Chain A
Amino acid sequence: MSSSTLRPAGGAPSAGQPEHTARARGRVLPFPITGQEVVLIVVIAVLWVALALTTPAFLTSGSIVPLLVAMAPVALIGVGMTVVIITGGIDVSVAGMVMVCAVVVARAMVESGAPLPVAVLLSVALGGLLGLANGVLIAYGRVHAIIITFGTANLFRFLGLQLFGGTTVDNIPGTLAVFGRGEAGRTLGVPHSFLIMLVVAAAAWYYLRHTPSGRHLYAIGGDADAARLAGVKVQRRVLSAYVLTGLLTGLAACFVIARGTSTLAPNVGAGMELAAIAAVVIGGTSIMGGRGSVLGTVLGALLVQTVTSGVTQLGWRSQLASLFVGILILIAVGADLLRERTRRTA
């Protein structure tokens, strides 16, 4: 399950527990905000100021609200992805999940006029079910997560395309407008989808940091065998991580429908797995597992969306945004590597 950490230099396994540098000694938990998150906050602030100075339209609600609405689903999936990556796994099937959930919910609303609670519950439950399939295969089949989720990604896409039946879903009613970017989707100017994402992220942050089962997830990512010997129910915890990702992906699918138009095309969700993974790694979560935070992921998603919006607003070619996202990933992870190296030698 866990990628065995083959680090030639450092023998000490860096589990979820804090590194015992002089600064952190005596504290049970590491400082709530890591260096990576401070860097991200500074970078985002600099970008926002720069964009506000160059394009006066940036700091208006007409530009910020779509930005927040656009980042909410990626950040939401990213929260689940963070939990999965902390356990040393990965889930590349979330794009397929978004597709399945979105098409089922859209068709339920079009064909039987499902009301808002039913639509959301349906989507979340369906996502949880798909996540359960991943989790069972990974936790009890003892196969590396990336292989299983590559496989299920294909299966989910098959399922989604079958449900689409070769066409688009048209005339979707505005049931989900509470999550959209319109007037109905805002309270005091703040979009609901963004608020919900923040609440979920805060809950996940507390769960990972302050509950025993949350700490177990870090222990599994640090060293699954050691965690098992220490009495952690590894398989059950791993299973729960994938189910959580599924549930959050189901909710994100509702946001995706809401931020779009009244037509749902079969390419819905495409590329979201990579976007979510990008947000997670920019946020400083170690892809090897055992280290990371939800706060970083939310900031990572915000940074990616800021860059994307900024490129559009500056009137540059929108595809240039991916180039900057790629460079950002390298810078963010490089900074993390550097800090890791100084920590180890300190």
Chain B
Amino acid sequence: MSTTVSPPAPAPQSGRPEAPDSRLRQLPALLLRALLTQRIVLLLVLLVAVVATFVTLSQRNYLTAPYDAGYMSAALISAVPLVMLGLAELLVITSGRGGIDLSVGAVVSLTSMVFGFGYGEWGWPLWPSILLAAAFGALCGAVNGFLIAYIGYPALITTLATYYAFSSLAIVVNDQQPISTQPIQEFFSAARSVPLGGGEDPLQVPLGILTFLLPTAVVVWLLLNRSTYGRRLYAIGTNDVAAQWAGIDVRRTRFLAYTAAGLISGLVAVVTVAQFASARPDAGVAGSGMALPAITIAVLGGVAITGGIGRVAGVVLATLLVVWLNAGILLAVPGNAGSQFQLFALGTVLVFAALLNGLTNRRYGRTG
């Protein structure tokens, strides 16, 4: 799907010198190698395994409700914020030098309130309000980016500090009260499902997938793989000293990565307001927050925490895996325990994937 990132590990397909039949004999080893070294292949296999397992369980009536295409499609509503924030983390983690953004959840909270004021209180039309949210999110991201790229703060600390600051402001700005005026409540329609395709039983797809998730994923993919900015971002993430000597404006590139992450968080705020039908001051930080799941998704999707490696397809596949696994668990383990087993599944998959990565790194060299 995307071009290879980073100095490519000797690709398994490039065994040109050998005769065709010897290549055929090597096929199992090549497949194993692809499975172990290519995170996307591993995720695809896991995804198929998870879906196949739950569909089988569903057909034998072990689940409390049918696990079919309609259910899987409805479950995608929770994938919208996850994929978008995962892509935000992809951008900042790829920018290297310990890049990470703990503040995305707080930016979502604060921007939710700003969007709530714009659309719900001041009576702005929808599009200017969405633009306002995106711009405000980008501004929050720019604060992070300025401190990290131009002043040289470590990313973890900066975004920890702004996490505290933004989440505090989000609560204080409207006296802890959510905004749920008439226009905001009607905005819930943006979170409805729309029928996709014809026939008498069309598949119901959450509207957010089409209006927010897909455009964001496509734009980030184009940015990373079809623009000079993307090449620069991978370059500074791989080795920012070398990138500096190659004439790349390292600071500006890194600054823009954090700004873009803020912009995406601003859009996620709009999505969350629609889902809750209310602009809540704790939207992005309630419970374990939005930042930790987003980072988990990014890491699971094969984004190297050291920077310079990461693909959009990995993040999308990792989200699909987690969302459909969670949806299946909810049917298999009813009630409160179901949401607890989701934590268990997420933790296990993450640790397993990370350990596998460490193992294959040693066996096959760098992974892509």
**Residues of chain A at the chain B interface (Cβ within 8 Å):** 3-4, 6, 8, 90, 92, 137, 141-144, 146-148, 150-155, 157-158, 161-162, 166, 270, 274, 277-278, 281, 287-288, 317, 319-323, 325-327, 329-330, 333-334, 337
Closest to A331 in B: B161
Total number of A-B contacts with CB less than 8 angstroms? 142
Q: Name 20 interchain pairs, CB-CB below 8 A, sorted by A.
A: A3-B98, A6-B96, A92-B292, A143-B355, A150-B299, A151-B296, A151-B354, A153-B292, A158-B341, A166-B337, A274-B163, A288-B98, A317-B172, A322-B164, A323-B172, A326-B161, A327-B165, A330-B147, A334-B153, A337-B153
Known contacts A4-B306, A166-B336, A329-B164: A334-B295 contact under CB 8 Å: no
* Residue from the list B154, B169, B337, B361 in contact with A323, Cβ < 8 A: B169
**Stretch from B9-17, B187-195, B222-230, B345-353 that touches the partner:** B345-353
B305 within 8 A of partner (CB): yes
Q: A92-B292, A158-B343, A333-B153 are in contact. List 5 more A-B contacts (CB 8 A).
A: A8-B240, A320-B172, A326-B160, A327-B161, A334-B153
| Least distance between B93 CB and chain A CB atoms (Å) | 10
* B 229-244 binary contact with A (CB < 8 Å = 1; else 0): 0000000000111001
Complex: A320 Cα to B170 Cα, angstroms: 10
B358 within 8 A of partner (CB): yes
Chain A residues contacting B344 (CB-CB under 8 Å) are 154-155, 158
Complex: A166 Cα to B340 Cα, angstroms: 10
Chain B residues contacting A151 (CB-CB under 8 Å) are 296, 346-348, 350-351, 354
Known contacts A155-B343, A287-B154: A323-B168 contact under CB 8 Å: yes
Known contacts A6-B240, A319-B171, A323-B168: A144-B163 contact under CB 8 Å: no
B288 within 8 A of partner (CB): yes
Chain A residues contacting B311 (CB-CB under 8 Å) are none
| Least distance between B95 CB and chain A CB atoms (Å) | 12
| Least distance between A274 CB and chain B CB atoms (Å) | 6
* Residue from the list B97, B162, B176, B292 in contact with A326, Cβ < 8 A: B162
Complex: A157 Cα to B287 Cα, angstroms: 11
Max chain B CB contacts within 10 Å: which of A288, A322, A323?
A322
Closest to B343 in A: A158
| Least distance between B173 CB and chain A CB atoms (Å) | 10
Chain B residues contacting A325 (CB-CB under 8 Å) are 161, 164
Chain B residues contacting A144 (CB-CB under 8 Å) are 305-306, 354
Complex: A144 Cα to B164 Cα, angstroms: 25
Complex: A83 Cα to B208 Cα, angstroms: 45
Complex: A278 Cα to B162 Cα, angstroms: 12
User: Once the chains bind, are A150 and B355 in contact (CB under 8 Å)?
Assistant: no
User: Once the chains bind, are A137 and B355 in contact (CB under 8 Å)?
Assistant: yes
Closest to A278 in B: B160
Chain A residues contacting B167 (CB-CB under 8 Å) are 322
Complex: A148 Cα to B239 Cα, angstroms: 24
User: Once the chains bind, are B350 and A322 in contact (CB under 8 Å)?
Assistant: no
Chain A residues contacting B100 (CB-CB under 8 Å) are 146
Closest to B355 in A: A141
User: Once the chains bind, are A150 and B295 in contact (CB under 8 Å)?
Assistant: yes
Chain A residues contacting B306 (CB-CB under 8 Å) are 3-4, 144
* Residue from the list A90, A142, A321 in contact with B168, Cβ < 8 A: A321
Chain A residues contacting B346 (CB-CB under 8 Å) are 151, 154
B158 within 8 A of partner (CB): yes
| Least distance between A266 CB and chain B CB atoms (Å) | 10
User: Once the chains bind, are A157 and B288 in contact (CB under 8 Å)?
Assistant: yes
Chain A residues contacting B157 (CB-CB under 8 Å) are 281, 287, 329, 333
